[in-house]
Amino acid sequence: MSESSVSAMPTAAAKRGGVFYLYKNLWEQSHGRQGELLGAVLLLLTAQCVLLSVPYFAGRAINVLQASGSAGIGEAGIWLSLVIGATALSWVFHGPGRLLERNVALEIRRRISFGLFDRLLSLPLSWHEANHSGVTAHRVQQSSSALSSFTQSQFIYLSSAVRLVGPIVALWLLEPYVGMSAIVGFVIICVSVVGFDRAMIRLAHRENDAERRYSAALLDALGNITSVFALRQSRAITDLLQRRLEAIFAPLRRSIVLNEAKWCTVDVCSKVLSCSLVALFAWLAVRHVDATVGQKTLMLGSLYMVWEYASQAGGVISTFASNFQNFARQHADFASADPIRDANVKAADATTPELLQASSPDSEYYMVRDLVFSHPGGRDERPTLNGVSLSLQQGRRYALIGGSGSGKSTLLRVLAGLYEADRVAVDRRNGPAIVTPSAAAQMLRSNVTLVPQDAEVLEGSLAENLALCATHAGAPAEGQYSEAMNTACVSDFISADANGLSTAVVERGANWSGGQRARIALARGILAAADSNLVLFDEPTAALDSRTEARVYDNIFAALPNSCIVSSIHRLHLLDRFDEVIVMHEGRVVAQGPAALLAATSPDFRQLLAMYRKEDSAQPASQSAAA
């Protein structure tokens, strides 16, 4: 995938309303736990409201001491014990509130991770081919962590809100002019913070894009480490990684400058505001003449209250600035999975359920007519499959042959329902014809099993790898493993018992030879195909020597006697094991029938056969017999 197309993806997210977007998703994702979420909010709000009384109690203690001296020690002690009491009481609400909030956050992370994974599984194969797996994995992780961390940051946002409103109300009660001045000051500073952070959100989106491309390159390098070593790619890969890292740093550097400018503005303005509020209060207080004693009074406790509330007000500005920055980051990170959420999946045809029912496993043949398919973003103007027609019968074996790039793998993927055709009609004996591509894809997907070309194995034990599949009815029983291992000739190199099944498979099956890995993957494919009436194999034995290859085919045909089997093959010495041959050329089926008939009637078949014989005779004898 080109670098430009990767970076162009997640911009739709930036258009969505930030705060509402996150809160809407938080609310939706916490369904079933919304009571807990509201309970957490209530408890955390109560804790912050209780804490608001602390400066008042402390100020009253100072005022009593100022007015009554040592005679007021008892009363001051009561006020001070209220300070401790209020702090302790706030924890009675804050602690349980945080527990609730963080538990909901964990649940939200679980839901988003699995929700996105489910969504990924529902997207067509072509979507996955067009999107780098490293990029997609990064999106899932970043988005699920972001909303989870947003959820468990609620107490910070709530405390900021209370500490924003509380001191203003307190200052207003102490002196309305001071309260009014605080509001004006807050508004000015908040507007400048929002301005800075808007610019920083845009940079965060660019930074996330660049970071995903860097992760993708790193994953490619580490995932293909044999080629990196063997082809001396280290230098080129390092250069690529450096370029991609530099692409992260470009928006990051601008963001760092903006961040410092923002903090400078916030710091200076909040200090100016705090000092101005104290000065304003003092000035207003000394202007007030006490009529009874005839002198200007300035109660130190009240001054302390103003200082404390003003400091809180100043502190809140810093907190607001930092919260907004976190919030901006969380918004950008959560939105990074929007290309997955927004991926355009064609809605299934309304008649699908009926068609699926009609296509019960006892359908006895498929007649595929006029199949047209183009790879999205394919290089060629012509469709990859152009008017393909073929007929397949239950219990028969078909060899799919053709030159490289003729469309064999693509055809098998369409027949497995993994790619949706642009146009197709499928006739079956036991049901109405299906003429809608989406319905055809769904029907095929629920009746057909494709054993893919690449032997994709996962890290774990052999048993875990075999368990990573399902028939249309569900997971295969463990008792079937040894039979599948025998069929795929896995038991040639590992015993089909508990001991053998516990053998380790490392990442990408690097502790097995290519042929052994292919047979493990084939055993898993055979397990998955147990109840499919159409089973497709995409060159499953290309990595095997010709004798083992022939044994594997004999075993497969014996293990699946009632299924229709279509297998693409390159080595044509296998042809006599198949009932019919399907010949492909440039995206078309140019011939179908028994090999003997085609040898007499099809020039394309004869040409392929001649090419094969020439290649085969050119090979050293040892090669075809090698294990």
Ligand X SMILES: Nc1ncnc2c1ncn2[C@@H]1O[C@H](COP(=O)(O)OP(=O)(O)OP(=O)(O)O)[C@@H](O)[C@H]1O
CB of 408 or CB of 428, closer to ligand X: 408
To ligand X, the closest distance from the beta carbon of 375 in angstroms equals: 3
- Quick check: 407 binds ligand X (CB under 6 A)? yes
Judged by CB under 6 A, the stretch of 398-406, 426-434, 475-483, 497-505 that binds ligand X is 398-406
Q: 619: which 2 tokens?
A: 């090979």
Residues 1-4: contacts with CB within 8 Å, 24+ apart? 1/130, 1/131, 1/132, 3/213
Q: Which of 74, 195, 387, 405 binds ligand X (CB under 6 A)?
A: 405
- Quick check: 567 binds ligand X (CB under 6 A)? no
CA-closest candidate to residue 387, choices 373, 402, 362, 370: 370
CB neighbourhood size of 621 (10 A): 7
CB of 302 or CB of 384, closer to ligand X: 384
Q: 309: which 2 tokens?
A: 């509330």
To ligand X, the closest distance from the beta carbon of 408 in angstroms equals: 4
Scan residues 116-135 and list those touching ligand X (CB under 6 A): 129
What is the β-pairing status of strands 385-393 and 365-373?
antiparallel
- Quick check: 90 binds ligand X (CB under 6 A)? no
CB of 404 or CB of 562, closer to ligand X: 404
Quickly tell me which residue has 């979420």 as its tokens. 37
CB of 47 or CB of 400, closer to ligand X: 400
Q: Which of 154, 325, 359, 384 binds ligand X (CB under 6 A)?
A: 384
CB of 408 or CB of 519, closer to ligand X: 408
Judged by CB under 6 A, the stretch of 148-156, 362-370, 407-415, 470-478 that binds ligand X is 407-415
CB of 224 or CB of 409, closer to ligand X: 409
CB neighbourhood size of 586 (10 A): 15
To ligand X, the closest distance from the beta carbon of 216 in angstroms equals: 17
**Angle of CA points 384, 387, 389, to nearest 5°:** 115
d(CA 418, CA 382): 20
CA–CA distance from 501 to each of 425, 494, 525, 553, 559 (Å)?
43, 8, 16, 23, 21
Judged by CB under 6 A, the stretch of 214-222, 302-310, 402-410, 488-496 that binds ligand X is 402-410
To ligand X, the closest distance from the beta carbon of 515 in angstroms equals: 18
- Quick check: 422 binds ligand X (CB under 6 A)? no
- Quick check: 410 binds ligand X (CB under 6 A)? yes
Judged by CB under 6 A, the stretch of 206-214, 306-314, 405-413, 528-536 that binds ligand X is 405-413
Q: Where are the alpha helices (DSSP H) in 152-175?
A: 154-174
Q: Where are the alpha helices (DSSP H) in 481-560?
A: 481-487, 498-501, 514-528, 546-559
- Quick check: 378 binds ligand X (CB under 6 A)? yes
Q: 152: which 2 tokens?
A: 């468990």
- Quick check: 375 binds ligand X (CB under 6 A)? yes
To ligand X, the closest distance from the beta carbon of 126 in angstroms equals: 7
To ligand X, the closest distance from the beta carbon of 317 in angstroms equals: 53
Q: Which of 181, 409, 486, 624 binds ligand X (CB under 6 A)?
A: 409
Question: In this structure, what DSSP letter does residue 573 have?
Answer: G
Backbone angles phi, psi at 397, to 5 degrees: -115, 130
> By three-state DSSP, how is residue 532 classified?
coil
To ligand X, the closest distance from the beta carbon of 584 in angstroms equals: 7
- Quick check: 387 binds ligand X (CB under 6 A)? no
Q: Order across the sheet with 385-393: list the strands.
A: 385-393, 365-373, 423-428, 431-434
Q: Where are the alpha helices (DSSP H) in 529-589?
A: 546-559
> By three-state DSSP, how is residue 252 classified?
helix
Q: Which of 4, 404, 562, 622 binds ligand X (CB under 6 A)?
A: 404
Judged by CB under 6 A, the stretch of 6-14, 81-89, 103-111, 400-408 that binds ligand X is 400-408
- Quick check: 179 binds ligand X (CB under 6 A)? no
What is the β-pairing status of strands 460-461 and 504-505?
antiparallel
Residues 515-518: contacts with CB within 8 Å, 24+ apart? 515/543, 515/544, 515/545, 515/548, 515/627, 516/490, 517/455, 517/457, 517/543, 518/455, 518/542, 518/543, 518/544
CB of 75 or CB of 129, closer to ligand X: 129
To ligand X, the closest distance from the beta carbon of 407 in angstroms equals: 4
To ligand X, the closest distance from the beta carbon of 100 in angstroms equals: 47
What is the β-pairing status of strands 534-538 and 564-568?
parallel
CB of 308 or CB of 586, closer to ligand X: 586
**Angle of CA points 155, 157, 163, to nearest 5°:** 95
To ligand X, the closest distance from the beta carbon of 404 in angstroms equals: 3
- Is residue 485 within 8 A of residue 440, CB to CB? The reply is no
What number of chain residues touch ligand X (CB under 6 A)? 12
To ligand X, the closest distance from the beta carbon of 451 in angstroms equals: 14
> By three-state DSSP, how is residue 253 classified?
helix
- Quick check: 352 binds ligand X (CB under 6 A)? no
- Is residue 66 within 8 A of residue 311, CB to CB? The reply is no
- Quick check: 540 binds ligand X (CB under 6 A)? no
Instruction: Please report, as ranges, the residues that interact with ligand X according to CB under 6 A.
Output: 129, 375, 378, 384, 402, 404-410
